[in-house]
Structure 1
Amino acid sequence: MLELLGKKIQCNCGKIHTIPSVNIVWDRFSNTYFSNKKSLFVADENTANLSNLSGKNVLTLTDPRRVTATVENVDKVLKILGNEDMIVSIGSGSLTDIAKYAAYLSKKEFSCVPTAPSVDGYTSSAAPLMVNGIKQTLDAKTPRTIILDIDILRNCPLDLLRAGIGDISAKVIARFDWLLSHHITGEYICDFFWNNLEDVLFELLKDVNNIFQREKNFVSKLMTAQLISGLNITVAGNSRPASGSEHLISHFLEMVYEARGELPLFHGLQVAMGTYISLHAYEILFEDIPLEKSSDNLEEKKRSLIQLFGPKKAENFLRIYRNKNMVKIANLNKIKKSLEKTYLRFSPLLKNVCKVIDVGELFKNYSRDVIKQAINLSNMLRERYTVLDFLDSSGILKSFSDWIVEKAGR
């Protein structure tokens, strides 16, 4: 994909895919970059110290716990923004999402200096933000330039490296879910995006044990995979190539923390939990593991949503759920055949990923009830069809949630 930057591709799917022109520079970051543009640098208290920004216009966002991607933080950027030409983020996922959405709203250029290979958002035209307690994915500005300093990237906090592996591993589940929806609901699908990423992802996940060694080659592979995944989102015009049931689970967990006024785990760590859950959902499908029919009815779901998020948000999620195409009849053998090659190639790697980044330890941050709720209710957050909807329409989603919490040792 990176060799296609700035080009248009006539795809076999019938569409013309336009790959944005992004200047990707692997180099040691210094304050001489972006000196040809009047820029506002957006950082936090940790990332502002990674380079000498003296003489630059810098907004340092602060939070006693951790700066997160919220519309309130976007507003802080917009309030200080003057006649600058560009907004430049110095940070990882949250700071990037804040800055690129502010750039989108203000019609400014956007560039970024990633400080961790933790997300694929650096090259994507989408920004997941918390808006009034609901996680929403909003249109955002694609970067003009990305400066990648390998020493900054590989020396980021270890949890951000773990989060990066969790986030990039999720692309396998996103592929499964998109194929599943294509066969069940007839949703459009394009193989261009998976073909761009598959081999890069496979080679990366084979070496995932090197995460704790902070090896330059491994970290650059991880960052490259994230860049490709983000470009896939931009070219597709939505996050379907990169986000499925595992991200819905992550969004749900983050919203629960937001409702409680607590700080969530890093995005990629929550996604790793979602990947663990969704991978086992596909295991149910492929291995024909018997689960008894057991699902919450709509009233039970409504009560749970109201208890967690209040009546207004609950009604919004119920509306999404009612409008879903919950097909109950599907050619299971055809679906298995379509997914089998990728499932057999990647499922052992994903199981090892979950072991290496210690997903079992992550589950200990949540009660059994919250994990069950995330499984039973997260498919109500988006119209996107995923394996959770398949289990739901099959009448075994609730049984699956019970099975998972036991399997995860909760």
Structure 2
Amino acid sequence: MPVLTRLIPSPLFVEIRPGALDALAGVLADQRLSTAGRIAVAISNGSGAKLRQRLEPQLPKADWYRVEDGTLDAAVRLAEQMRGGHYDVLVGMGGGKIIDAAKYAAARVGLPLVAVATNLAHDGLCSPVSSLDNDAGRGSYGVPSPIGILVDLDVVRQAPLRFVASGIGDIVSNISACADWELSHRETGEAVDGLAVAMARSAGENILRHPGALPDQDLLTALAEALVLSGIAMNITGSTRPSSGACHEISHALDVLYPKRSAQHGEQVGLGAAFASHLRGERELTRLIVDCLRTHGLPVTADQLGFSEAEFTDAVHYAPNTRPGRFTILEHLDLSPTAIRDAYADYVQAVNR
């Protein structure tokens, strides 16, 4: 008998609207996550700390934990601090680093996580992965995805515009990542999950062609929804494949080689997506990505990120080492440093026409 359906891991609830934060306590109770109010809240020293004053009256029984940064050590400390607390749920409140640390800590102590985003910098909001800095640079750790997502657009609008624009770079890179996945299918026979591709690519295309400008509410809403869909696409396939190809390999290489100088994740993967599309010979797509990045003030060349041509060449050459076993246009072409430098020069000439 054929299998007629499949279960898709997804959040129990998603709230994306202005003023959503004021409904947090009610949502937790309505969803029966914490009717007694036994809640742990992980916050940053920045935006999360400011919101604590606003939310404490709504969450009188909550315990608040400050997370210093997005490191593995900080995530482990958070888990240890929560042990024995008999909580119903952990709420991770802040930017991507805090939510990633909270996802890891929740998995370590066996708590469901509700992610409350104060910016939209990348698709970790709903993904089954925590990206945390460690002694070797940065690692990706498999974790359960959040059981709930809450995005207050009024709060997001107050975040630095650069952080929100970074989310645009990250979500648009899905298009390049899916193209790399399909390339791998043609060249190596790697299985492709069509539903995951449809969701991830649709999310990217929606932002790529959205006519709005930041911080317009329509675009913020579309971006938040796209980031959630991207996370669900990763849940469907059980890996980051729908949203991570050569674009992310290049970004990870910049993080490894130049850890003190790396830019926002979305800024790096946006440039990586444009360059990877150029390498695949997709001239129209490259132009669309570059135009989208420029519209939202994102870098489209290495020097705009603060890297020289030689440094970017070294990063692209090193990039396949960051994801052993993943096949993208970089592994397919297997370019020498000289060939990468020439290809990048062609790319720069093309985008500056």
CA change 1:197–1:240 in 2 (3 A) is closer
**Matched AA of 2:279:** A
Deviation at 1:61, TM superposition (A): 2.6
Residues of 2 paired with 1:359 and 1:169: CA distance?
13
Query: Which residues of structure 2 form unaligned runs of 5+?
Result: 29-33
**1:224 is aligned with what amino acid?**
E
Task: Tell me whether 1:161 sits opposite 2:102 in the alignment.
Answer: no
CA deviation after TM superposition for structure 1 residue 273, in Å = 2.0
Q: Quick one: distance in 2 between partners of 1:378 and 1:196? A: 26
Deviation at 1:168, TM superposition (A): 0.3
- In the other structure, the counterpart of 1:369 is 310
2:184 paired residue among 176, 181, 184: 181
Aligned AA (2:291): N
Matched, 1:403 2:347: no
Superposed displacement of residue 77, structure 1: 0.7
Answer with 138-147 or 163-172: which moved more.
138-147
> Aligned with 1:42: secondary structure?
strand
Q: 2: CA distance between counterparts of 1:181 and 1:38?
A: 47
CA distance in 1, matches of 2:188, 2:322: 18
The one-letter amino acid paired with 1:215 is D
Per-residue deviation, 1:102: 0.9
Q: What's the counterpart of residue 266 of structure 1?
A: 264
Displacement, 1:200? Answer: 4.5
**What aligned pairs does 1:60-209 form with structure 2 within 5 A after superposition?**
60-62=66-68, 67=69, 69-82=70-83, 83=85, 84-207=87-210
Whole-Å separation in 2 of the counterparts to 1:360 and 1:148: 28
Match of 1:57 in 2: 63
2:40 aligned counterpart, secondary structure: strand
Going from structure 1 to structure 2, the CA distance change for 1:398 and 1:101 (only over 3 Å counts) comes to farther
1:232-280, Cα deviation, whole Å (9 max, x unpaired): 101111010111010011111112233xxx2632211111121122121
Q: CA deviation at 1:151?
A: 1.0
2-side partners of 1:175 and 1:189: how far apart?
9
Distance 2:322 2:300 in 1: 25
Dislocated runs of 4+, deviation >6 Å: none
Over 3 Å counting, the alpha-carbon distance change for 1:220 and 1:70 in structure 2 is: same
CA shift, 1:165, in A, is 0.7
1:242/1:148 CA distance change after superposition, 3 Å: same
The answer as to whether partners of 2:90 and 2:113 remain within 8 angstroms in 1 is yes
State the distance in 2 between where 1:359 and 1:265 align.
Answer: 10
TM-superposed deviation, 1:171: 0.3
Give yes or no for the alignment of 1:351 onto 2:290: yes
Query: Is the CA contact 1:376–1:401 (under 8 Å) kept in the aligned structure 2?
Result: no
Instruction: Report the count of equivalent residues.
Output: 327
2:12 and 2:148 in contact (8 A); partners too: yes
Superposed CA RMSD in Å reads 2.5
Please say if residues 111 and 146 of structure 1, whose CA atoms lie closer than 8 Å, have aligned partners that are also in contact.
yes
Does the 8 Å contact 1:10/1:17 carry over to 2?
A: no
Q: Which moved more, 1:19-28 or 1:144-153?
A: 19-28
- Contact 2:175/2:200, CA 8 A, preserved across alignment: no
Amino acid in the other structure paired with 1:255: V
Bigger mean CA deviation after superposition, 134-143 or 185-194: 134-143
- Residue type of the partner of 2:193? C
Which residue is 2:25 aligned to? Answer: 32
SS of 2:213's equivalent?
Answer: helix
Sort the Cα spacing of 1:73 and 1:401 in 2 relative to 1 into closer, same or farther, 3 A: farther
Q: How far, CA to CA, are the matches of 1:73 and 1:256 in structure 2?
A: 23
Q: CA deviation at 1:113?
A: 0.5
Deviation of the 1:362 alpha carbon = 5.9
The verdict on how the C-alpha distance between 1:230 and 1:388 changes in structure 2, with shifts beyond 3 A counting, is same
Alignment gaps of 5+ in structure 1: 1-8, 288-343
Distance 1:367 1:348, change over 3 A: closer
Report Cα offsets for 1:131-160 as digits up to 9, x if no partner.
322432211122122112111123321111
Q: TM-score when scaled to structure 2?
A: 0.84
Cα separation, 1, equivalents of 2:253 and 2:193:
27
* Structure 2 partner of 1:211: 213
Q: TM-score, normalised by structure 1?
A: 0.73
Counterpart of 1:19, as a letter, is P
Q: How has the CA–CA distance of structure 1 residues 350 and 358 changed in structure 2, closer, same or farther, with 3 Å as cutoff?
A: same
Structure 1, 110-119 or 361-370: larger mean CA deviation: 361-370
Work out the CA distance in 1 between the residues paired with 2:204 and 2:301. 24
